[in-house]
Amino acid sequence: MVEKRINELRALLEYHSKKYYVEDAPEIPDYEYDALYRELQELESQYPEFDSPTSPTKRVGGAVLDKFEKVTHTVQMQSLQDVFSRDELISAIDKMGAPSYAVEYKIDGLSVSLEYENGKFTRGSTRGDGIIGEDITENLKTVNAIPLTLNTPLPFIEVRGEVYMPKAVFHQLNAQREEKGEQLFANPRNAAAGSLRQLDSKITASRKLSIFVFNIQQIVGGPELNSHLESLNYLAGLGFRVSPDCRTFSSAEEIFEDIQRRGDSRDSLSFDIDGAVVKVDSFELRQELGELTNVPKWAVAYKYPPEEKPTVLRSITIQVGRTGVLTPNANFDTVRLAGTNVSRATLHNKDFIAERDIREGDTIMVRKAGEIIPEVLYVDKSKRPEGAVPYSFPARCPSCNEPVFVSEEESAIRCTNSACPAQLHRSITHFASRDAMNIDGLGPAIVDTLIKNSLISSIADLYTLKVEDVEVLEGLGKKSAQNLISAIEGSKSLCLSKLLFGLGINHIGEKSAQTLAKKYRSIDAVASAELDDLCTAEDFGEIMADSVVNFFSHQSTKEIIEALKKAGVNTEYISTEVSSLFDGMTIVVTGTLNTMTRAEAEKCITDNGGKAAGSVSKKTTFVLAGSDAGSKLTKAQNLGVRVIGEDEFLQMLK
């Protein structure tokens, strides 16, 4: 009965996944899909004997690789000859001399090969140089639009497709990166390529990539196919999401008109394109035309020229992100780019402005990066108005009027005021997170509700909340409110290290917070520590020390600390008994262990006084190696570092 239910759930999830990701025609709401998914996860966890490599639960990723293995393509993955004008296009079509041509979008993504044996997805690889690519199978499994099992189990088929990041996902990802002060992706193609080449497939899974399949590289046991359009229909029947809106034409003028139509409508597409592809439709004629060294003679890519326009920069304004980063934005006279009106673009940071010497009143050249994100290219200094002065960042935060923090080591200028209104949501969410104060039930949605109802304006306000304040809020009842207040109360007794990490000091992570707590023993001692003394802390540098000094210099920070003390929050270091079994040892864990996860093994090491390192060196005391240990084991053997197995490690812990 259990196996039957597991198979039913897999079939249901595959069906609804195809409806959502391939056909864009969902039949059930997300919460119903999620409920089915969770049920399958729980059953597979309880009954591992029914595990399947093609289960929908494999989509979340989990494989962490040391490197990508090389793949030699049996059928070369060629590129296309580019044309950039109507005349070049007509000349190329005349040379091909076909009665019919297929025209489709040139998706701006990353070209990949997908291989299937007996209907099962077995390997996926990048194009690379066309002859040798990289094996990214685990990452491609996380792309929901790629079927893990085909509708018809052919002996073998290899197809080619373009993995891309949908525009909406790209905007969301860049917004998240901006909040964290991370470098933004220039365009969806860069984002997709970077996502596919992650060694941790969980990161790839989080990027919500998609794919369009557009070619059969090789096939065994399939029907005889005569044209490109016929092959796309066949691939769609197998379960692939194929190149959309492919049309056939017989004349060059019709083809050029269709290419223009596609270019004019690209703003309305959910995916990014950088041109259109024109292919001879007949496979027999393709064989006759043949190929050059790395491009076919039977296809060309028409590339749309990037649109750039001049405009006048009227002002530079500052936006404060949730991480406190001050981001300058250019406000200029409205211009029309790639089909939309644009009057604003980010200037990123102080270095971007300084390198281009951007000043208010300048005539600037703007375009849409990747046809989506407005960007400032350069200044036309010949048109600079008399009296224009270099731009200076504000010395105080526009949101809270506190002094900003400028570091010579990074481009970002930050507001480090813990009570800054612009950072309130992020700071409270981080404070309540599991690795910080671990306030169960205080997620982003509840934080948002508390802020909107003016119940909190700083982290200290959490400790003034009462059940009756919370139970009346939307989405909460008395039981949920009681649980939340109990969790807040329980957080008061945590170690100082948790509080220091929860405060969200720039550059201070979980381990460095533990270092500070252990060295100074109280929050007052940390707050009054001198820069030179902070630099003596283990693994501390001047940037981290400077961040600590700057954070505690704000009057608002001092007021929050006092409010936390008054509420009964522990601000002292709580010493725990730690075994000295691995005292002074540096230990590396690699491979898959049978009785514990790698993280659990590393915790055993640190709990017993050792240091869990991520890489092997001559200073490594020993390596704990499980199955499929990989390059770290090889390096240990080459360096003569001691290697032990899981059984020996467990004996040590007894």
Task: Point out the residues that are catalytic.
Answer: 106
CA distances from 15 to 144, 278, 395 (A): 12, 33, 57
Distance CA 364, CA 360 (A): 10
| Token representation of residue 519 | 């060295």
Cα–Cα distance for residue pair 444/446, rounded to 1 Å: 6
List strand residue ranges (DSSP E) for 132-200, in order.
132-134, 156-164
Which amino acid is located at 317 in the chain?
A: T
Q: Which helix (H) or strand (E) holds 453?
A: none
In the beta sheet, which residues pair with residue 336? 341
**Length in residues, the chain:** 654
Q: Give the single-character DSSP code of 325.
A: B
CA torsion sign for 167, 173, 176, 177 is negative
Q: Is residue 467 within 8 Å of 441, Cβ to Cβ?
A: no
Tokens describing residue 67: 């490197």
Cβ neighbours around 71 below 10 Å, total = 20
Task: Please state, in angstroms and rounded to a whole number, the distance separating the CA atoms of residues 427 and 506.
Answer: 11
DSSP classification of residue 166: -
For residues 49 and 184, is the Cβ–Cβ distance under 8 A? no
Give the whole-angstrom CA distance, residue 60 versus residue 56.
8
Output phi, psi for 436, to 5 deg: -100, -110
Residue-wise DSSP of 50-80 = G--TT-GGGGG---B-SSPPEEE-SS-----
C-alpha count within 13 angstroms, C-beta hemisphere, residue 328 = 23
Q: What does the alpha-carbon distance between residue 150 and residue 213 come to, in Å, rounded to a whole number?
A: 13
Residues with Cβ < 8 Å from 136, sequence gap 6 or more? 68, 112, 124, 125, 126, 196, 197
Residue 375 to residues 155, 173, 177: CA-CA distances in angstroms? 49, 17, 17
CA 293 to chain CA centroid, Å, is 36
